[in-house]
Amino acid sequence: MIIDTTIGKRGLTDHYPELGTGPVSTEPFYSEAHYELEKQRLFRRTWLSIGRVEQVAEPGDYFVFDLAVADTSILVVRGEDNQIRGFHNMCSHRGNKLVWEEKGRSMAFPCRLHGWTYLTDGSLRSAPDENMFYDLDKTRCGLTPVNLEVHEGFIFINLQPEPDETLSEYLGEVGRRMHGFPFGKATVRYAYRAELRCNWKVSLDAFCEGYHVMFLHKKWGRDTFTTPGNPLCQFPYAGISGRHAVAAVTGNPDYKPRPAEAKIYEWATKLQQNNENNGSWLPPGVNPHDSPEFSFELMHLFPNYLVHLVEGTYFTHQFWPLSPDRTLWEGCTYYEPADNAAERFRQEHLHLLRRESWLEDTRAMESVQAMLKSGAKDEFIFHDHEMLLRHTYKTVMDYVKDNAVTS
Amino acid sequence: MNEQTLLPPGFEDLNLYLDWALATESARSRKRLGSSMEEMQKFYDAMLPRVDDVMEHLGASALEAMQPAQQNLFNLCLSLSEVSFAVEVYGQPEVPNSMQELGEAERFVIVHD
Ligand code: FES
Ligand SMILES: [Fe+2]
């Protein structure tokens, strides 16, 4: 599914004639009507990643995920039988939001309002004053389940009554491409979050192209992600498969660390343990030509999740629509637990590096959104290597027009 | 506790900078945004040449095994990483062109603290 590009030579998008090469409308990036269609026809139909299995490692472990885009809240819990299940977080009696905590461990979930109590498999265990109800059939009063499947340790849900396709059918080739990356080893998570004043696609798009790196991130990003041969951070390779896409981002092997980070990297390397069994984390299909100029592979799992495979770590972005021009963004970095202080020091510096660039990215997203409604421009113009943006646009429109293709 | 025990023996010179020995990233970031470049430059100039000694002393220790004084010393290291961006890259406390420059730094939530 990968197309090797020639830096500086246009032609990547031409491999996918269905995407076209013309400008696209800005309207879906702010319109209330379009947003309603996305809510109904897109987010209620696709598989959505909402967490990792490490968050529910033991029976009784649970977390709650509020899903504004579907007007619901989801309870994910590992049952006594070790199975992970998802439910609408809503009491069967009179609709109260059942669990208010963000996460925890419990074998029973009592409703705060009148004490109906549910077990980890969603069944109703007890209802106070039970004999005062008329024909109460407790077996029919369990929590409402949602479809939940796990891929490579990522927990996905699907809000269709019966999903059109399984998670692995949905993720297709890009899902298979993740296989072999040791996600389960990187159990330590550093997360940043912001409620951004922009459409979720403005936010997603900002992380799906390298064209801005030389400019928006000129203070430091360009030294890291561009080389003399690729000064505008074009993708060395990229590809589309169904609704999902991948792209490789260049890293500069000649980057000269600044004084503080040079010390940090030096000590982390010097004190590194288990040196011998630290094989590559990257599956063979990722950076297939073993280029020394490889930094990471970006994977877009449609609609709203980006997973970035890096040697020895991975990071993610997720974009949850709150309204046509509000998005809950979360950017996370995942590491193996540091076994000494020097490694912890290195990890701190690495996620601060990401934080600094995400601070630049997020302001720019809001600055784009601030102008959209003016209507002064009704089209976006896409560069050849802004192909992932074009692909997202087309896939969104396919769902909204109700002719979404399967992989 | 007297002043000498706040950092491990041999690092008394860094006692001047104990207000940078902050346990969370949010606190370190807030401190950076509330400091002048002169203050950060002084801390940076004092701390950078001591990284070798600090790492020699505690670089190989497990995080859970650190004594409070060592933890303070290590938090100074993490603050060095934090200020290095202001001192080495931007020449100002805030990330240029970020919501920090609008006085909205708190909108960017550090979830892991
Ligand atoms: S609404 Fe939950 S017990 Fe009444
Ligand atoms: Fe960026």
pLDDT per residue as tens digits for the range B77-99: 999 999 999 999 999 999 999 99
Q: Is residue A167 situated within a structural domain?
A: no
Do A208 and A325 belong to one domain?
yes
Distance between CA atoms of A293 and A35, rounded to whole angstroms?
Answer: 39
How distant is the Cα of B46 from the closest Cα of chain A, in angstroms? 12
Q: What is the mean pLDDT of residues A392-402?
A: 95
- What pLDDT shows up at residue B105? 97
Q: What is the mean pLDDT of residues A259-278?
A: 85
- The values of phi and psi at residue A134, to 5°, are -95, 120
Interface contact flag, A359 B98, Cβ < 8 Å: yes
Amino acid at B1: M
Q: Is residue B112 situated within a structural domain?
A: no
Chain segment A55-104, per-residue pLDDT in tens: 999 999 999 999 999 999 999 999 999 999 999 999 999 999 999 999 99
Domain boundary among A162, A182, A200: A162
- Which structure tokens are listed for A216? 């928006």
Do A248 and A150 belong to one domain?
no
Chain segment A104-114, per-residue pLDDT in tens: 999 999 999 99
Amino acid at A17: P
Distance between CA atoms of B13 and B21, rounded to whole angstroms?
Answer: 14
As a whole number, the mean pLDDT across chain A is 96
Do A39 and A55 belong to one domain?
no
- What pLDDT shows up at residue B88? 97
Which of the listed residues A114, A118, A143 should we mutate to test ligand 1's pocket, taking the one with most ligand atoms within 8 A of CB? A114
Distance between CA atoms of B90 and B85, rounded to whole angstroms?
Answer: 6
Q: Which domain holds residue A73?
A: 48-162
- What pLDDT shows up at residue A275? 54
A3-4 and A326-335 strand pairing: unpaired
Chain segment A332-390, per-residue pLDDT in tens: 999 999 999 999 999 999 999 999 999 999 999 999 999 998 999 999 999 999 999 99
The answer to whether A218 faces chain B, any CB pair under 8 Å, is no
Q: Where residue A86 sits, what CATH number does that domain have? A: 2.102.10.10
Domain boundary among A123, A142, A162: A162
Do A40 and A73 belong to one domain?
no
The whole model's pTM is what? 0.96
Distance between CA atoms of A43 and A158, rounded to whole angstroms?
Answer: 9
Nearest in space to A35 (alpha carbons), one of A327, A378, A391? A327
Contact indicator for B33, B25 with CB cutoff of 8 Å: no
Distance between CA atoms of A56 and A63, rounded to whole angstroms?
Answer: 7
- Which structure tokens are listed for A191? 């997360």
Determine whether A342 is exposed, middle or buried from the number of CB atoms within 10 Å of its CB (0-12, 13-18, 19+): buried
- Which residues sit with Cβ closer than 5 angstroms to ligand 2, an ion? A 361
Do A256 and A347 belong to one domain?
yes
Segment holding A353, helix H or strand E: helix A341-372
Q: Which domain holds residue B73?
A: 3-107
Distance between CA atoms of A355 and A361, rounded to whole angstroms?
Answer: 10
Instruction: Compute the distance from residue A25 Cα to the ligand 2 centre, in Å.
Output: 23
Count up the domains in chain B and report the number: 1
**Does residue A222 surpass a pLDDT of 90?**
no
**Does residue A244 surpass a pLDDT of 80?**
yes
Distance between CA atoms of A73 and B44, rounded to whole angstroms?
Answer: 46
Chain B residue with CA closest to A353: the answer is B85
- Which structure tokens are listed for A194? 């912001």
The answer to whether A232 faces chain B, any CB pair under 8 Å, is no
Write the DSSP string, chain B: --GGGSS-TT-GGGGGGGGG--SSHHHHHHHHHTS-HHHHHHHHHHHGGGHHHHHHHHTTS-GGG--HHHHHHHHHHHHHHHHHIIIIIISSSSPTTSGGGGT-GGGSEETT-
Contact indicator for B35, B93 with CB cutoff of 8 Å: yes
**Does residue B1 surpass a pLDDT of 80?**
no
Chain segment A164-201, per-residue pLDDT in tens: 999 999 999 999 999 999 999 999 999 999 999 999 99
The bound ligand whose nearest atom lies closest to the alpha carbon of A359 is 2
Chain segment A337-352, per-residue pLDDT in tens: 999 999 999 999 999 9
Q: Is residue A81 situated within a structural domain?
A: yes
Count up the domains in chain A and report the number: 2
- What pLDDT shows up at residue A373? 87
- The values of phi and psi at residue A396, to 5°, are -60, -45
Do A309 and A350 belong to one domain?
yes
Instruction: Compute the distance from residue A163 Cα to the ligand 1 centre, in Å.
Output: 29
* Confidence band of A221 (pLDDT split at 50, 70, 90): confident
How distant is the Cα of A342 from the closest Cα of chain B, in angstroms? 5
The answer to whether A370 faces chain B, any CB pair under 8 Å, is no
Q: Where residue A338 sits, what CATH number does that domain have? A: 3.90.380.10
Residues of B in contact with A195 (CB under 8 A): 107
**Does residue A277 surpass a pLDDT of 60?**
no
Say which DSSP state A299 is in: E
**Does residue A393 surpass a pLDDT of 90?**
yes
Nearest ligand 1 atom to the CA of A111 is 2
**Does residue A40 surpass a pLDDT of 80?**
yes
Q: Is residue A204 situated within a structural domain?
A: yes
**Three-state secondary structure call for residue A201:** helix
Q: Is residue B84 situated within a structural domain?
A: yes
Which of the listed residues A75, A88, A89, A111 should we mutate to test ligand 1's pocket, taking the one with most ligand atoms within 8 A of CB? A111
The CB-based long-range contact list for A27-31 (8 Å cut-off, 24+ gap) reads A27/A378, A28/A201, A28/A393, A28/A396, A28/A397, A28/A400, A29/A199, A29/A201, A29/A202, A29/A369, A29/A372, A30/A199, A30/A324, A30/A325, A30/A369, A30/A372, A30/A373, A31/A324
Q: Which residues of B touch A (CB under 8 A)?
A: 25, 44, 48, 51-52, 55, 58-63, 66, 74, 77-78, 80-82, 84-85, 88-90, 95-102, 107-112
Interface contact flag, A338 B63, Cβ < 8 Å: yes
The bound ligand whose nearest atom lies closest to the alpha carbon of A222 is 2
The answer to whether A264 faces chain B, any CB pair under 8 Å, is yes
Distance between CA atoms of A121 and A87, rounded to whole angstroms?
Answer: 9
Segment holding A269, helix H or strand E: helix A259-270
Residues of B in contact with A366 (CB under 8 A): 99
Do A391 and A366 belong to one domain?
yes
Count the neighbouring beta carbons within 10 Å of the beta carbon of residue A279: 7
**Three-state secondary structure call for residue A75:** strand
**Does residue B3 surpass a pLDDT of 60?**
no
- What pLDDT shows up at residue A402? 82
